[in-house]
Homo-oligomer: A and B are copies of this chain.
C-alpha cells in the first residue's frame, strides 16, 4: 500500500484506540483525563504507524493485538514529551499548539502522567504482543542506554562549550534521544511480523538511517518553520544554547546529511515490494 493511503487508513484507528482505551481502562477518571490530554494532543503517530507499516511490509495481518502494541509505543513517546517539557528539563509552555501538561495540570500531575504512561505503554506492548523479547527491546530502547540516557547527555550538552563541536557526542546524544525509539518500533515490527534472516537486517538498517534522519529533520524544523506551523516554540535551540548536529554543521550541510540518509534508507528497502516504508521518507521533504 502507498504510504498516504496507509496513513489515512490507520491514523484514525490509532487515535480511536488510544481515546477509547484511555477512557475505559483507567480507573481514576481525572487521572485518565490528564494522561489523555497529552496523548490526544494531535501527534503524527509516526512510531505506531512505523510499527504497523513493518507488519504490512511483511504481509502480517494487523489485528487488535497489533494495534494495542502499536499504541503502547505511542503512550511511551507521549510520556517522553511530557517529561521533556518539565520546568527542570526544557521548560516548554506549549507543545503541538496546546499548553504543556505541567502548565495545564500542575507539575506533580505532569510528572505522574508520564510515570503512568510509561508502564501502561509497556503493559500494552506485553499484552498486545504476548512476546517478552519485544517488551525487552522497548524497555532497553528507553532506559539508561537509550532515550533516558540521551536526555541525560542533552542536559550535559546544553551550554557546554566542550561538546559544541564534538560531533561524536552530538551524534550519540541525538541517536539515543530519538533514534533508539524509532529503531525499537521497527525492530518490534520485525519480531512481531516474523521477518526472516534476510529481511530483518534490511529493516534494521532502514530504521537506523530513518531514525538518524528524523533527528536532523526535527532540528531543521526548529530553524526552518515558524512556530505556528510547528505548533511549538521554534528558533529556541540556539537561543537556549542547545548544541546539536545542526548548530554544529549549519543548515545547508545538515540538509545534505539528511538527503544522504534518505538515499541510504531507500536503498535498504529494495528487497521489499510494498512501498509503504519508503513513503515515510516523504515526511522529510518539507525541510529539504
A155 located at the interface, meaning its Cβ lies under 8 Å from any Cβ of chain B in the complex: yes
**CB neighbours of A123 from chain B (8 A):** 136, 139-140, 143
- The answer to whether residues A119 and B132 also contact, given A109-B155, A155-B109, A155-B112 and a CB cut-off of 8 A, is no
A277 located at the interface, meaning its Cβ lies under 8 Å from any Cβ of chain B in the complex: no
- The answer to whether residues A108 and B88 also contact, given A115-B151, A144-B27 and a CB cut-off of 8 A, is yes
A77 located at the interface, meaning its Cβ lies under 8 Å from any Cβ of chain B in the complex: no
- The answer to whether residues A112 and B28 also contact, given A122-B139, A135-B126, A140-B123 and a CB cut-off of 8 A, is no
**CB neighbours of A31 from chain B (8 A):** 144, 149, 152
The proximity string for A residues 85-109 relative to B, scoring 1 for CB distances below 8 Å and 0 otherwise, is: 0101100000000000000001111
**CB neighbours of A140 from chain B (8 A):** 119, 123
Q: What is the bound-complex CA distance between A27 and B32, given in angstroms?
A: 35
A145 located at the interface, meaning its Cβ lies under 8 Å from any Cβ of chain B in the complex: yes
Q: What is the bound-complex CA distance between A138 and B126, given in angstroms?
A: 11
Are B28 and A144 neighbours in the complex by a CB distance under 8 Å? yes
Are B144 and A83 neighbours in the complex by a CB distance under 8 Å? no
Are A119 and B139 neighbours in the complex by a CB distance under 8 Å? yes
The proximity string for A residues 263-286 relative to B, scoring 1 for CB distances below 8 Å and 0 otherwise, is: 000000000000000000000000
A111 located at the interface, meaning its Cβ lies under 8 Å from any Cβ of chain B in the complex: yes
Of B107, B112, B153, the contact of A148 (CB 8 Å cutoff): B112
Q: What is the bound-complex CA distance between A149 and B112, given in angstroms?
A: 8
Of B109, B120, B148, the contact of A144 (CB 8 Å cutoff): B120
Are A111 and B139 neighbours in the complex by a CB distance under 8 Å? no
Q: Top 3 closest A-B pairs, CB basis? A: A116-B148, A123-B139, A88-B107
